[in-house]
Amino acid sequence: MNWNILGFIQQTQNELIDELSIKVNQLSKGVAACDQLAEKHGSSRNVVSVLYAVIQEELFDSSEAMSLDGTAYQLRLFKQSMRKYVEELLDAGLVVQAEKRPMKMRVSESMKRVLGMGALF
């Protein structure tokens, strides 16, 4: 009986490692996408930081869309500035507005394809 439990634990650990490996790979693609955003559009470091935060949220805690207020707090940015940064990401088609009040955002479908997230979400 203990062997069955240990086998189950081993299988679960292997599945978790596989899932984390996929997510780390996707996060690497997210870093590359952020770098391209900065290069192609001349986006500020803060805009890139907002996109990276939204990508992380999507990959590791996709149960909630990222709120404008929460993102501003996490990145230690002013809420007024955040609106400008989010607008730039919305215009670029990298994030979509998930809720209007309070304003929440998610990674866009096109960004999910860049990250290779289609099969997971």
- The total domain count for the chain is 1
pLDDT 10s digit of each residue in the chain, 121 long?
556 888 889 999 999 999 889 888 888 888 888 888 788 878 889 999 999 999 888 888 766 788 999 899 989 999 899 999 999 999 989 999 999 988 999 999 988 888 887 543 3
Which helix (H) or strand (E) element contains residue 76?
A: none
pTM for the model stands at 0.77
In a domain, 119, yes or no: no
Cβ atoms < 10 Å from Cβ of 108: 17
pLDDT given for residue 118 in this prediction: 56
pLDDT given for residue 12 in this prediction: 93
In a domain, 118, yes or no: no
In a domain, 120, yes or no: no
Task: Look up residue 63 and give its two tokens.
Answer: 């149960």
Output the domain CATH number for residue 17: 1.10.10.10
Instruction: State the Cα–Cα distance between residues 98 and 28, nearest whole angstrom.
Output: 24
Gyration radius of the chain over CA positions: 17
pLDDT given for residue 119 in this prediction: 43
In a domain, 121, yes or no: no
**What are the backbone dihedrals phi and psi of residue 101, each rounded to the nearest 5 degrees, phi first?**
-130, 115
In a domain, 109, yes or no: yes
Cβ atoms < 10 Å from Cβ of 45: 9
Is the backbone of residue 60 left (phi > 0), alpha (psi -120 to 50) or beta?
A: alpha
Q: Which of 51, 19, 40, 34 shows the shortest CA–CA distance to 117? A: 19
The boundaries of the domain holding residue 20 are 2-113
The upper half-sphere exposure of residue 118, i.e. CA atoms within 13 Å in the direction of its Cβ, equals: 6
